[in-house]
């Protein structure tokens, strides 16, 4: 076999035949003999090997050269060794060399040396030789990232060592296993093995010291920094006094990392520099790479990015040469952090991708999770907020499970920043406080002060100026004393933002000049752009718009297209500056760009709560753009802004339904588990839900909601209600996480923005050129109305007086008595003299339907209503026009949440290719086993409809009555595709709307209920879904018209159009209306036309609007 390569810096021949004359020994052996505890005059082969092993502790360079010479001498014989003694001696020499390589963490040559030793000894050999081979080969596997092999070999060594009763060997195996568990982030197990090694070390001082260092390393990994630092500080002089150079240098590296973490950069530099000098002198490339990686992180924190790049490049090259792919991956990870702090985000993502490839190859879950956090910070910076939030939530759970205090703090800090950007300041402050507590426990003072500066900005925005100033002053003092300059500059930016808000723009500019100088000098272009943005805002606040233009333009140019959310802020301020300078056209153009930027960021938010709060915190951008285009005389451009402001979550889901069809199926284990928990909580809710009392006497298809029950002064079964409320909140959080975490949402492309030509093409294809649409935008003091036709767009802005707001409130009040009074002229069934309804509805028609629109309407032409805000609760078709007849007499009215959603529903309906109606599923429930009052007419309604459909289609209608209408049946039919085969789905039962907890809105079935989360999971193919029940058209209103309720859930599930109700409906009159609707539908009328004809008939027969107005056609 070939001898190992000869050491290049210390040349010597093999040990001489006689070991009795030290003066004649070659150089290596003379050096070894001069070391403490070496044999003074007599040396045998066994003594030589033992001397080499001891030298590896303190003089690894010399030990490596000597171990190679041992192998070379024994392997230089002219023939292969044949005697057992010769083979054993050579095998021991190879193992000695392997031990030296293991001490130096050089995996590939260590494995080769062990392999050479194994070949010399019988495979059936047992005892210490095999234990040593397994231990060393396991370490070699660990150093090269082959973790399954490492675990197998180290476990075999542990079991064999336990039988051998050799305590020192057992301790060495325990140390190796501790290191293995640390690599896999199994820190509790790593700590157990380190403690075991310490217990087994006995009187061996070196082994005891290494065991304590290993325990401290585990504490460092667990972010238990104070405990780790205490041990390192105690053992550093011990290692130095005993000449344990590699152990001493390791302790200095760890102290350097701790001081870097704490922000004590001068001390960190001293520790790392001394360790690096030792490693270079001993020619240990692995440890040189480790020290350089630590130095790179130090330089990064100091803002010395060029030096950081040089250090990490050397580390990566050394690890690559050593064949350590995971260590190379960690270098790429560090490189990504450097680039990220340097604002070179594309380079950072590339580096993170390289690290991910290596972590995946090694199946290193912890590394993958850490990488997700780093990627999330870039997603967040670029405005991909939900993708970032998912990563942070995953990492937070992982860090808490591993008790990584500092990592937990970083996750909480990042989530606090994110919630601030999503428009949740209260949640942001709570997360900041939790993060600061975590950093304080970890004694991470630097991170705690960074966190305090961020919290100060949020608190000041919430009006808590005193606490904000105190936090910020403390953080600024810390950064002034301890650095780094980058953090001080960021602190000055926060101070400037606060000064601008407080009306002190000149003071703000003084802070910003210093910060900008630093960011410019250090080439941090994104932070410099943020600084220029604040400079522009300060000039605007100072009443100097001309001075604001240049810095704002520079900021906008650098921030787009990578940081669109922040770029939108710059464009918005540019618009205000242009308006102040009298350039309305330029202002409108700037504002439009701001809307476009924000819209892209908002479309990456996939839940209504976050999308709504995100819109609300940027409302001024949309409203300035809307007003700007209206002032410029361009209502079509203003309409585009209106659509960008409304209902983006539902629009994105509907427009890309094929992509999100697997949101609740076929997902990774995390999402499946979340959904299973959501479902289980839903079933608990059903089991706990009390038999809520009716809001009205019997005969109404409604049961009281949880929210209404909780609002009563003395709610029945209060303890159960509170438990239900707690479970409802838990289910809401789980359902949000299901949607955020679904891989399907990762595949969503930003939905194409609203296009008026595209809408017209869809509407013309469906209705010809006679259609029109009214779209609304509601503000506290005005309402803007858009009228869209096949060839024109017109807009009006009407002021909202206190009187008109009062009338609107009366018309949409959900209280049953108020609805009855306005729409029936009755109060509790008693006709009222001079009822207010007719006058109120005429007044609202004058407010909301301009005369030009009223004159152009025709009973045979479709009119689409796209409301806004609480106008979603208003039955526009019941408004009385100039001739005192309701709107439904003048047009075929249908509704949609937005024009964009209407377009998507038109496309869905047109894409089906069907002209007639296919199979129908009819479900009716009259009895609910005590869970709700009975309904006398629902099952008769279904039987009548079944006869109508049977007369039209033969056996095309399938009717389910009473106990046959179960959750299990509908879910099973959804899963196997049966449900998607029905063209009409009709449900006649109880329903409830919960505005406070929209996920608890539900449709009662025989065994349980279909709540909103259950409806989201259904797979429908029906062109028409009818909910013959109460309040099924209502949705929880959030800012930006991000609506959530039964209606949105059914549209997501695949319904092409919906027949739903705005308020509690009478059981008997509902049955009559449904029968008339289906007769017209089966006679060939479109759904909106069929409903209009049925409602017109009831109106003509003298029925009050209270009986027919609640039903609306969506789609």
Paired tokens of 239: 């290692």
The DSSP bridge pattern shows strands 772-778 and 862-866 to be: parallel
Q: What is the pLDDT of residue 914?
A: 60
The DSSP bridge pattern shows strands 1024-1028 and 1058-1061 to be: parallel
Burial 308-335 (b: 16+ CB within 10 A, else e): bbebbebbbebbeebbbbbbbbbbbbbb
pLDDT tens digits along 815-853: 888 899 999 998 887 888 888 999 999 999 999 999 999
H or E element in which residue 175 lies: helix 167-183
Which residues, at least 6 apart from 411, have a Cβ–Cβ distance to it below 8 Å? Answer: 373, 392, 395, 396, 399
Q: What is the pLDDT of residue 728?
A: 79
Helices (H), 243-284: 245-262, 265-281
Q: By 3-state DSSP, what share of the chain in percent is helix, strand and coil, each rounded to 5? A: 65, 5, 25
pLDDT tens digits along 698-711: 445 455 454 554 45
Paired tokens of 365: 């879950």
H or E element in which residue 923 lies: strand 920-924
Q: What confidence tier does 966 reach under pLDDT thresholds 50, 70, 90?
A: very high
Q: What is the pLDDT of residue 917?
A: 85
Most confident of 237-251, 1053-1067, 1069-1083: 237-251
Which of 112-116, 118-122, 832-836 is predicted least confidently? 118-122
Which residues, at least 6 apart from 609, have a Cβ–Cβ distance to it below 8 Å? Answer: 736, 1038, 1042
Burial 542-553 (b: 16+ CB within 10 A, else e): beebebbbebbb
pLDDT tens digits along 544-579: 999 999 999 999 999 998 888 899 999 999 999 999
Cis peptide preceding 141, ω within 30 of 0 = no
Q: How far apart are CA 841 and CA 808, in angstroms?
A: 9
pLDDT tens digits along 143-192: 988 999 999 999 999 999 988 888 999 999 999 999 999 988 888 899 99
User: Tokens 């029906």 map to which residue?
Assistant: 1022
Q: How far apart are CA 294 and CA 300, in angstroms?
A: 10
Paired tokens of 1099: 């109106």
Q: Is the pLDDT of residue 97 over 70?
A: yes
Q: What confidence tier does 20 reach under pLDDT thresholds 50, 70, 90?
A: very low
CB neighbour class for 633 (10 Å; exposed up to 12, middle 13-18, buried from 19): exposed
Q: Facing residues of 957 across strands? A: 920
Half-sphere exposure of 411 (CA within 13 A, CB side): 23
Which of 246-255, 398-407, 635-644, 1015-1024 is predicted least confidently? 398-407
List, as one string, the DSSP characters of 51-95. HHHHHHHH-HHHHHHHHHHHHHHHHTSSS---SHHHHHHHHHHHH
Top-confidence residue, 184 or 763: 763
Q: Is the pLDDT of residue 212 over 60?
A: yes
CB 358 within 8 A of CB 320: no
Q: Which long-range contacts (C-beta less than 8 Å, at least 24 apart) are formed by 670-673?
A: 670/394, 670/741, 671/738, 671/741, 671/742, 671/743
Average pLDDT over residues 8-15: 34
Q: Is the pLDDT of residue 611 over 80?
A: yes
No. of H helices and E strands in the chain?
Answer: 51, 18
Q: How far apart are CA 713 and CA 627, in angstroms?
A: 45
pLDDT tens digits along 1074-1099: 889 999 998 889 999 999 999 999 99
User: Tokens 């080769």 map to which residue?
Assistant: 112
pTM, rounded to two decimals? 0.77
Q: Facing residues of 895 across strands? A: 865, 1114
For residue 723, give the nearest of 753, 773, 672, 688 by alpha carbon.
688
* Residue 722, CA distances (Å) to 689, 711, 715, 726, 730 in order: 11, 11, 10, 6, 12
Paired tokens of 421: 């950007």
pLDDT tens digits along 996-1016: 888 889 999 998 889 998 998
Q: What confidence tier does 17 reach under pLDDT thresholds 50, 70, 90?
A: very low
Q: Which long-range contacts (C-beta less than 8 Å, at least 24 apart) are formed by 692-698?
A: 692/932, 694/933, 695/816, 695/1064, 696/816, 696/1064, 698/933, 698/934
Overall size of the chain counted in residues: 1115
Q: What is the pLDDT of residue 37?
A: 58
Helices (H), 542-634: 545-559, 564-580, 584-602, 608-617, 619-631
For residue 472, give the nearest of 441, 489, 450 by alpha carbon.
450
Question: What single-letter DSSP state applies at residue 886?
Answer: B
Q: Facing residues of 1026 across strands? A: 986, 1059
Q: What is the pLDDT of residue 720?
A: 65
Q: Facing residues of 1114 across strands? A: 895, 1058
Paired tokens of 102: 């293991």
Paired tokens of 255: 């102290």
For residue 767, give the nearest of 759, 775, 757 by alpha carbon.
759
Paired tokens of 577: 């500056």
CA dihedral 44, 45, 51, 52 (to 10 degrees): 160
Q: What confidence tier does 668 reach under pLDDT thresholds 50, 70, 90?
A: low
Q: Provide Rg for the chain, Cα atoms.
A: 37
H or E element in which residue 788 lies: strand 782-789
Q: Is the pLDDT of residue 394 over 90?
A: no
CB 481 within 8 A of CB 297: no
* Residue 638, CA distances (Å) to 415, 644, 686, 755 in order: 35, 10, 46, 12
Cβ count within 10 A of residue 972 = 12
pLDDT tens digits along 775-804: 999 999 999 999 999 999 999 999 999 999
CB 605 within 8 A of CB 614: yes
Question: What single-letter DSSP state applies at residue 609?
Answer: H
Which residues, at least 6 apart from 881, have a Cβ–Cβ distance to it below 8 Å? Answer: 842, 845, 849, 854, 887, 890
pLDDT tens digits along 442-493: 888 889 999 999 999 999 989 898 899 899 999 999 988 887 788 889 999 9
Q: At what angle do helices 265-281 and 285-302 cross, to 10 degrees?
A: 160
Q: What is the pLDDT of residue 393?
A: 85
Question: What single-letter DSSP state applies at residue 752?
Answer: P
The distance between the two most distant Cα atoms of the chain, rounded to a whole number of Å, is 129
SS3 assignment, position 215: helix
Q: How far apart are CA 433 and CA 409, in angstroms?
A: 10
Paired tokens of 636: 């079509």
Q: How far apart are CA 440 and CA 449, in angstroms?
A: 10
Q: How far apart are CA 182 and CA 110, in angstroms?
A: 21
Q: What is the pLDDT of residue 22?
A: 37
CB 497 within 8 A of CB 534: yes
Q: What confidence tier does 82 reach under pLDDT thresholds 50, 70, 90?
A: low
SS3 assignment, position 813: coil
pLDDT tens digits along 717-735: 556 667 777 877 888 888 8
Q: Is the pLDDT of residue 40 over 60?
A: no
Q: What is the pLDDT of residue 1022?
A: 92
Paired tokens of 729: 């909140």
Mean pLDDT taken over the chain: 86
Cis peptide preceding 953, ω within 30 of 0 = no
């Amino acid at each position: 076999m070939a001898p190992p390569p000869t050491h290049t810096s210390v040349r010597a021949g093999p040990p001489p035949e006689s070991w009795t004359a030290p003066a004649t020994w070659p150089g290596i052996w003379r050096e070894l003999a001069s070391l403490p505890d070496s044999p003074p005059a007599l040396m045998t082969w066994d003594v030589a090997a033992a001397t080499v092993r001891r030298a590896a502790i303190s003089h690894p360079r010399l030990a490596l050269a000597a171990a190679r010479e041992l192998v070379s001498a024994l392997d230089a014989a002219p023939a292969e060794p044949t005697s057992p003694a010769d083979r054993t001696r050579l095998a021991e020499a190879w193992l000695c060399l392997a031990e030296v390589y293991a001490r130096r963490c050089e995996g590939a040559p260590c494995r080769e040396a062990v392999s050479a030793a194994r070949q010399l000894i019988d495979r059936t050999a047992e005892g210490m030789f095999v234990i040593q081979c397994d231990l060393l080969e396991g370490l070699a596997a660990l150093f090269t990232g082959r973790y399954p092999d490492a675990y197998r070999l180290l476990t075999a060594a542990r079991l064999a060592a336990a039988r051998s009763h050799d305590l020192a060997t057992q301790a060495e195996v325990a140390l190796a296993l501790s290191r293995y568990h640390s690599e896999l982030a199994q820190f509790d197990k790593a700590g157990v093995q380190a403690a075991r090694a310490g217990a087994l070390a006995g009187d061996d001082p070196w082994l005891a010291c290494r065991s304590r260092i290993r325990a401290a390393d585990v504490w460092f990994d667990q972010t238990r920094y104070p405990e780790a630092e205490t041990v390192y500080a105690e053992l550093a002089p011990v290692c130095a006094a005993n000449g344990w150079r590699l152990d001493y240098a390791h302790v200095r590296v760890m102290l350097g990392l701790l001081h870097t973490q704490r922000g004590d950069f001068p001390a960190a530099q001293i520790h790392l520099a001394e360790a690096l000098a030792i490693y270079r002198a001993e020619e240990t490339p692995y440890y040189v790479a480790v020290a350089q990686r630590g130095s790179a992180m130090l330089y990064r924190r100091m803002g010395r990015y060029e030096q950081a790049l040089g250090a990490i490049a050397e580390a990566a090259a050394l690890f690559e040469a050593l064949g350590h792919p995971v260590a190379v991956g960690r270098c790429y990870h560090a490189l990504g952090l450097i680039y990220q702090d340097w604002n070179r985000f594309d380079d950072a993502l590339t580096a993170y991708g390289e690290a991910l490839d290596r972590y995946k190859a090694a199946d290193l879950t912890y590394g993958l999770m850490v990488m997700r956090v780093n990627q999330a910070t870039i997603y967040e910076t670029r405005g991909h907020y939900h993708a970032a939030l998912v990563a942070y939530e995953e990492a937070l759970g992982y860090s808490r499970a591993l008790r990584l205090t500092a990592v937990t703090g970083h996750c909480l800090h990042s989530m606090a920043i994110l919630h601030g950007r999503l428009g949740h300041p209260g949640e942001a402050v709570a997360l900041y406080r939790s993060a600061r507590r975590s950093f304080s426990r970890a004694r991470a003072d630097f991170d705690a002060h960074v966190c305090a500066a961020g919290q100060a900005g949020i608190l000041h925005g919430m009006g808590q100026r005193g606490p904000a100033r105190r936090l910020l002053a403390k953080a600024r003092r810390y950064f002034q004393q301890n650095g780094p300059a980058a953090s001080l500059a960021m602190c000055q930016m926060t101070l400037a933002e606060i000064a601008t808000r407080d009306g002190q723009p000149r003071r703000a500019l003084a802070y910003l000049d210093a910060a900008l100088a630093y960011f410019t000098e250090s080439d941090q272009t994104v932070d410099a752009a943020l600084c220029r943005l604040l400079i522009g805002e300060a000039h605007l606040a100072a009443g100097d718009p001309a001075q604001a233009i240049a810095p704002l333009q520079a900021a906008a140019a650098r921030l787009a297209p990578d940081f669109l959310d922040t770029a939108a802020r710059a464009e918005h301020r540019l618009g205000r500056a242009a308006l102040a300078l009298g350039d309305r056209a330029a202002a409108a153009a700037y504002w439009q760009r701001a809307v476009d930027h924000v819209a892209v960021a908002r479309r990456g938010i996939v839940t209504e709560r976050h999308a709504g709060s995100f819109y609300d915190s940027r409302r001024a951008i949309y409203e300035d753009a809307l007003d700007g285009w209206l002032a410029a005389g361009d209502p079509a451009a203003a309409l585009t802004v209106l659509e960008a402001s409304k209902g983006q979550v539902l629009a994105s889901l509907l427009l890309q339904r094929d992509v999100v069809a697997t949101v609740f199926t076929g997902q990774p284990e995390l999402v499946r588990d979340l959904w299973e928990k959501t479902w289980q909580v839903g079933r608990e809710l059903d089991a706990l839900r009390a038999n809520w009392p009716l809001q009205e006497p019997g005969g109404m298809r409604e049961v009281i909601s949880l929210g209404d029950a909780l609002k009563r002064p003395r709610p029945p079964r209060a303890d159960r209600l509170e438990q239900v409320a707690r479970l409802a909140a838990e289910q809401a959080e789980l359902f949000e996480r299901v949607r955020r975490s679904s891989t399907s949402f990762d595949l969503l492309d930003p939905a194409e923005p609203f296009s008026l030509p595209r809408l017209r093409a869809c509407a013309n294809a469906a209705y010809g050129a006679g259609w029109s649409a009214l779209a609304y935008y509601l503000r506290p003091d005005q309402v803007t109305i858009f009228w869209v036709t096949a060839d024109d767009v017109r807009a009006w802005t009407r002021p909202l007086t206190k009187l008109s707001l009062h009338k609107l409130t009366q018309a949409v009040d959900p209280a049953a008595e108020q609805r009855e009074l306005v729409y029936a002229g009755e109060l509790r069934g008693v006709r009222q003299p001079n009822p207010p309804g007719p006058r109120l509805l005429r007044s609202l028609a004058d407010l909301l339907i301009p005369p030009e629109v009223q004159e152009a309407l025709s009973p045979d032409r479709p009119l689409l209503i796209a409301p806004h805000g609480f106008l979603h609760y208003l039955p526009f078709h019941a408004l009385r026009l100039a001739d005192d007849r309701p709107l439904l007499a003048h047009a075929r009215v249908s509704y949609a949440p937005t024009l964009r959603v209407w377009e998507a529903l038109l496309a869905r309906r047109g894409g089906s290719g069907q002209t007639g109606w296919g199979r129908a599923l009819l479900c009716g429930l009259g009895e609910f086993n005590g869970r709700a009052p009975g309904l006398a007419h629902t099952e008769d309604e279904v039987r009548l409809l079944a006869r109508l459909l049977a007369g039209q289609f033969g056996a095309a209608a399938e009717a389910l009555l009473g106990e046959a209408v179960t959750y299990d049946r509908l879910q099973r039919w959804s899963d196997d595709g049966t449900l998607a085969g029905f063209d009409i789905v009709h449900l006649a039962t109880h329903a409830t709307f919960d505005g406070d907890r929209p996920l608890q809105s539900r449709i009662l079935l025989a065994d349980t209920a279909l709540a909103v989360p259950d409806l989201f999971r259904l797979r429908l193919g029906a062109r028409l879904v009818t909910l013959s029940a109460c309040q099924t058209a209502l949705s929880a209103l959030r800012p930006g018209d991000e609506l959530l309720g039964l209606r949105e859930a059914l549209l997501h599930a695949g319904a092409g159009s919906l027949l739903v109700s705005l308020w509690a409906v009478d059981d008997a009159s509902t049955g009559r209306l449904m029968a008339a609707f289906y007769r017209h539908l089966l006679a060939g009328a479109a759904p909106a036309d069929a409903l209009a004809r049925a409602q017109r008939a009831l109106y003509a027969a003298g029925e009050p609007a209270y009986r027919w107005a609640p039903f609306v056609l969506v789609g």
